[in-house]
Structure 1
Amino acid sequence: MPMQAHEIETLLRESFPNARIEVGGDDGVHMSALVIDESFRGMNRVQQQRAVYAALKGKMDGPNGELHALALTTRVPE
């Protein structure tokens, strides 16, 4: 079953409660997310993205994952 934007945001909010989070996409399968959080400070982009994928709790795992593609942008606040 495809995931809706609010479901993705809820999962991300559990791990990044103070982050600025914007989730977009309308087909429930190919989505985008912007996550800006202080916890990313000192991390490289790969580490930041791994933290976000971990927050999705396996929803992108394998061909049967609920979320097929996520265009992801992460950064620290300015």
Structure 2
Amino acid sequence: MPMSANDIEALIKRHIPDAEVTIRDLAGDGDHYAATVISETFRGKTRLQQHQLVYAALKAEMGGELHALALQTGTPKGA
């Protein structure tokens, strides 16, 4: 069963509470998404470490309900 964008956002925010999350369904099938996650939590971390934090939040779903996620991360601008 496909995973909804709202479910993905909720999982990310559960683990990264200050995250601003934008989700796009790339194929219209509920299996292939693109996510942009902005969080102060990422400040001082490498891009790899940022992605690892997001994937850790989704680890139970990756490869199951959530097949693919294109990920962009960053810190808030002007902070």
Q: Is the structural similarity TM-score above 0.5? A: yes
Instruction: Give the aligned CA root-mean-square deviation in angstroms.
Output: 1.0
Q: Which runs of 5+ in 2 are unaligned?
A: none
**C-alpha separation in 2, matches of 1:49 and 1:27:** 23
Equivalent residue, structure 2, for 1:3? 3
Moved over 2 A (4+): none
- AA of the residue aligned to 1:71: A
The reply on whether 1:40 has 2:42 as its aligned counterpart is: yes
SS at match of 1:22: strand
The C-alpha deviation readout for 1:19-67, integer Å capped at 9, x for no partner, is 1110110311000110000000111011000000001132114xxx111
What's the offset of the Cα at 1:17? 1.6
3-state DSSP of counterpart to 2:55:
helix
Tell me what 1:66 maps to.
65
Q: Distance in 1 between matches of 2:29 and 2:12?
A: 19
Could you tell me which runs of 5 or more consecutive residues in structure 1 were left unpaired when the two chains were aligned: none
Give the deviation of 1:5 after TM superposition: 0.4
Aligned equivalents of 2:4, 2:23: Cα separation in 1: 9
Query: How many residue pairs are counted as aligned between the two chains?
Result: 75
